[in-house]
Amino acid sequence: MTRMLFRDDPYLRAVEARVLEVTEDGHIVPDRSLFYPRGGGQPGDAGRLSWEGGALDIADAIKHGDDAVALVPAAEGARPAPGTLVTQTLDWDRRHAHMRVHTALHLLSVVIPLPVTGGAIGADKGRLDFDMPEAPEDRDAVEAALNALVARDLPVSEDWITDAELAANPGLVKTMSVQPPMGQGRVRLVRIGTGAEQVDLQPCGGTHVARTGEIGRLRLGKIEKKGRQNRRVSIHLDDPS
């Protein structure tokens, strides 16, 4: 089992861990992970793993079984043996960009309140696919509404509910194609805003910024037709640094 440190503190950039396993593929399973394993449209984190006498660049992180993370080295080379104490160092600039884009996509689902059929997160842009027969008539209005939510600098926080509570509140789930992971007894919710200022609450396992103001200005990109009922809406970080 891997403790998901990226969930405890998404701003943590380096930490020590103990190697639990090296898989047949050469992937390294730590007892706790800074690295987010790809899923839910968010890429796996990259960075570096070092230990006494060795080091490896990490190109990706993936899920390993139901409750562990496997770090995928960028190249061949010596792996730390099980039991080795290692230091994980995150490619922070890339992760932080993912956090900004991910929170921005949650805001996009507020501005366009339609069922989501897919999505993807990149380091400087992201997109959501909507069950939307016609494109929005006023692109500028969508972009302005998105940036108005960013400018409100709303806090982003998390809550946990039971599987049964989520089943009793299906309206929390915006995604049609991917259902939130259930079966562990509880589901994580990401909340944007609080009290009367709350604008969004939905299941999500990814990493997010602490406040919407941290996203920076957003630019609306292409709105593409992806089938009779689907439109793909892209957003870009105006300053991807």
pLDDT in tens, 96-108: 999 999 999 999 9
Alpha helices in 136-212 (DSSP H): 139-151, 163-167
The total number of structural domains that make up the chain: 2
Q: What is the band of 183 on the pLDDT scale with cuts at 50, 70, 90?
A: low
Strands 14-22 and 116-121: unpaired
Q: What is the band of 166 on the pLDDT scale with cuts at 50, 70, 90?
A: confident
CA distance 167 to 182: 10
Task: Find the CATH number of the domain harbouring 164.
Answer: 3.30.980.10
Same domain flag for 115 and 69: no
Same domain flag for 8 and 119: no
Which residues span the domain enclosing 205?
A: 95-237
CA distance 84 to 53: 11
